[in-house]
A and B are shown apart, each in its own frame.
Chain A
Amino acid sequence: MTDEQNYYPEGAELDEQIQKRHRGGTFWRTLFQASTIIGILALTALLYNIINETFGTVAVQNRVEPDKLILDLAEDRILNAPNTDSSENDNILVDSLDDDPYGISFFGYAYYTENSDRLKLLQVDGVEATAENVANGLYPLSRFLYMYTTEEVLLENQAASIYLNYLLTNINREIGEIGYFPVSDSTLSASQIAWVQNSGFDLQPGQWATISPAGLEGNVNIAGSSTVFPVADAFADLIAAEGFAANVDVQSVGSTAGFRAFCVDETADIATASRPIQPGEYQTCRDNFLRPIELRIGIDALAVVVSEENDFLTDITPDELALIFTTAENWSDVNPAWPDQPINRYIPGADSGTLDFFVETIFPAELETLSRETLIQILQANITVGRGRNLERQQRFFADGFAFDDPDLFNEACAGEDPPTGCTRRVRDLENVYALVNQEIVQPDVMQAWTLVESIFNQEEIAAITAEEYPYAELEFRSWLTPEFLVTPQSSTPEFAGVRTAILGSLWVVAITILFSSRWGSRRRFTWKSMRLRTG
């Protein structure tokens, strides 16, 4: 029996004991190291979290598209140009133009074909408006005609579904008769695929089957563009001749009203339009749980026409058109070779989609390229006078005039006892006005934001979600920490929020704390080295 107290192992037993103690030592040592690493890991996780949330992809959607602002402005200039007659009735335009050698006009191609004996069609950029040029997209003044429906309508209203099937089968054969141009084969098959995917018929995308409309009953309500009306109406007659017994009701109320009937009132099964659905309209539809399906059914071309008596014009460029319908007074202002005679403009009215379309094609411009004055005009047209005055009181737009206020009123305010800052600060520069347009009118909203890691690894999913949920939003990579973030004051909209005021407040508190705790409270002399910030 060995005495526990005095027993000392020897030889192999000693070696084993030493090794055991070393193993234990290694185990604990690793544990201690692991603890240290945990602390550092926590710090890493914290930094990762901060960086992950600071950067990332965002889906940005504008409240108002910048393009629309420019178009509104251009439309305004066209309507207010001298010697301009506008009418919603295209026949009046044709009659007025007929015997005016210095007149010029534009309207739907269908009206030109009706009056081709009295009018002269101009080539645009050297391209004549023929079916081939239009379908190829060579003729610049052409636009698609649309029909919109939803999956629910296609599944539940069989009459509407079959009507569209019949229309998509025969459209390219019939549309020439109606006065429009057929779409290219690929565009037509894209529309057919959209129908196949949503109609519930047992077809693969790419397959197309004509379903006999004979004997089908029900109601088809179509509302929308006056431009598409002849198409929808003609097909109502054509399909009825095939034995289609359903009641087809086609209303010509304008594209915008059509979308309202389709998305808001839900009284229309099919909306027709001479322009694509706008982001705002699409969002309204989505808010009502509808997902519009777009079908392109034809192409309308604008005819730029002059009188038969006009002998100096055969071809015209978009730039010349822009001048002719806005600032130029005489033909010679545009081209010295042309006569020194005033231009007589005959244009469709402000409510017609035709004018919108003309403006859209002729005046392509980027918001960034506009001058300060133009941007101020856009501001004047789009924000309330009250808001404008408010902005102007903060900082002026013009040194010698006033954008939103009666000059007398403003002078009075500046002469008062406590003049607003706008009286003394320098006028807003281009950058400032551009930012204002962006902030006050365009209002880019972040619809959804993703973290950095998601942005890197789930790009496809993000793109899919955006396409599905916010089709008019654009994806961009954003750093939420920007120089502006540091210098702008707080705001209730995250996109424009900054921390300047918060930073100043913190600095103020830090300064007071230094004053009390380090300078007087501590026996040590205050140095920057000795200063340690403790938060908590």
Chain B
Amino acid sequence: MATQNPATGITGTTVPAENLTKKTRIGESIIQGILFICGAISILTTVGIVYILGTESLNFFTRTNWSDTNKRVIVDTSAATTVLETAESGSPVAVGDTIRLQDEIMLITAIDGTLVSVTRGLEGTEIKEHRAGITLERASQVNPLDLITSTNWTPQLGNFGMWPLILATIMTSLIAMFVALPVGLATAIYLSEYASDKARSTLKPILEVLAGIPTVVYGYFALTFMTPLLRNIFGDQTVSIFNTASAGIVVGILIIPLVTSMSEDALHAVPDSLRQAAYGLGATKLETSLRIVVPAALSGITAAFVVAISRAVGETMVVAIAAGSGPKNFTLGEDSLFSYILNPFESAETMTGHIVRISGGDLSYDSIDYNSIFAIGLVLFLMTLSLNVMSRRIVEKYREVYE
């Protein structure tokens, strides 16, 4: 249909207005859906892991552990009696304790010398006759305070102090940090600021080979190379075959490429104009690198450090192989602080190493050992989570945005 514009006199054809709103394209929405599902799966997986960790750890804290009191019932008990005649020997029981005689669970209501009054047949257990000579078992639960107040980790014996494991983890991680952070950062500065393009393109892939080697190989590297080296330097008497120093150093070597790679990326991202400006003000290359570029890239470098620390804390195979195969239980005040508890040349078992060793054996479901590894896992998770949160905070706080 031809129309004419009355003002200009130009004639044209009018076209019906096209609908420009979004057209539904079936293929696209399917793809979107798939992408959403993928994202949801990864989030749900994380949630699932946290859920399992939580519930299993809860089991650990709420489960009833039966420990033998070595106190015998010295007279046969019929189904009708509510007073048990017990021997004097064995560990004492108290009013309010839940006890177990064979399969029958009872609650102690009163104690008169060796006579113990009980309510019988609790928790749906069958009231039965019991012969003399059977020992009482007392119910106990894991006290969450034990985790941080006790210094002895032997779950089968009812000792739940997590310090030996935590200390070992902290020690290996610290040693790894002392190796990886200075070396990694210095390497990153060299590669980013000093090395020629050719040198960088050769050296960086070589360093990244270190990251591609399976950690179990690093474990045997620690055991068959680093430990003998340390023993040669410090003496066989000083250095145990399994020790945290060797494991820590090798974990450090393992994360050097991580620190280097991430820090180098951060340094490289600093705009060249900053360097040029520094040179223009008469700064030397060193001054430019350390006073201009490194501070500018600080958030990236810090992020690299924190990721590296998380990696060191969570590192498993190296410490499982080289650090030791038993928690280094200690008693504060009795054991020397520096020659035993914090001695890096003694063997110790880290949290991850302990989980690997315990779950590598024949572990029956719902045993105390089984539950305990989830509690360790939860603590480990909290440690790495707080490190990650910290790294985000640091990154946000020190981020410098250019252009």
Contact = CB atoms under 8 A, between A and B. Distances in A.
Interface of A: 21-22, 24-25, 28-29, 31-36, 38-40, 42-43, 45-46, 49-50, 53, 520-521, 523, 533-536
B249 to A, nearest CB: 9
Interface in B230-260: 253, 256-257, 260
5 contacts: A31-B186, A32-B187, A35-B185, A43-B210, A521-B42
Contacts of B186: 31-32, 34-36
Given A38-B183, A42-B253, A533-B212, A29 B260 contact: no
B210 A42 contact: yes
A43 B209 contact: yes
A17 to B, nearest CB: 11
A35 B286 contact: no
Contacts of A33: 190, 194
A292 to B, nearest CB: 35
Interface of B: 34-35, 38, 42, 182-187, 189-191, 194-195, 203, 206-207, 209-215, 217-218, 220-221, 224-225, 253, 256-257, 260, 284-287, 290, 311, 315
At the interface, is chain A mostly helix, strand, loop or mixed? Answer: helix
Question: 6 closest pairs, A vs B, by CB?
Answer: A35-B186, A32-B190, A25-B286, A49-B225, A42-B253, A35-B187
A34 B194 CA distance: 13
A533 B141 CA distance: 44
A50 B217 contact: yes
Nearest to B31: A523
Contacts of A25: 284-286
B256 A39 contact: yes
A25 B190 CA distance: 12
Contact of A21 (B212, B224, B284): B284
Contacts of B34: 520
A534 B260 CA distance: 16
A39 B187 contact: yes
Given A22-B284, A29-B286, A49 B224 contact: yes
Nearest to A506: B214
Contact of B211 (A22, A31, A38, A534): A534
Contacts of B284: 21-22, 24-25
A523 B253 contact: no
Contacts of A533: 212
A49 B222 CA distance: 10
B171 to A, nearest CB: 20
A45 B217 CA distance: 12
A24 B286 contact: yes
Contact of B206 (A40, A53, A535): A40
Contacts of A21: 284, 286-287
A39 B221 contact: no
B185 to A, nearest CB: 8
Contacts of A45: 221, 225
Nearest to A43: B210
A166 B187 CA distance: 78
A39 B183 contact: yes
Nearest to A535: B214
A503 to B, nearest CB: 13
Given A25-B285, A35-B182, A40-B207, A520 B38 contact: yes
Nearest to B256: A39
B190 A39 contact: no
A261 to B, nearest CB: 43
Contact of A536 (B42, B183, B215, B256): B215
Contacts of B183: 35, 38-39
B286 A535 contact: no
Contacts of A32: 186-187, 189-190, 194
A25 B194 CA distance: 11
The CB with the most chain B CB atoms within 10 A, among A33, A38, A39, A40, is that of: A39
A49 B221 contact: yes
Nearest to B199: A36
A48 to B, nearest CB: 8
Contacts of A34: 186
Nearest to A533: B212
B210 A39 contact: yes
Given A25-B286, A35-B187, A40 B203 contact: yes
B140 to A, nearest CB: 38
Given A28-B286, A521-B38, A523-B35, A36 B191 contact: yes
A46 B221 CA distance: 6
Contact of A42 (B191, B256, B286, B290): B256
The CB with the most chain B CB atoms within 10 A, among A25, A32, A38, is that of: A32
Nearest to A532: B212
A25 B297 CA distance: 20
B340 to A, nearest CB: 30
Contacts of B206: 40, 43
A34 B189 CA distance: 12
The CB with the most chain B CB atoms within 10 A, among A29, A40, A42, A53, is that of: A42
A31 B189 CA distance: 10
Nearest to A44: B206
Given A46-B213, A49-B225, A36 B286 contact: no
A535 B216 CA distance: 10
Contacts of B253: 39, 42, 46
A166 B288 CA distance: 93
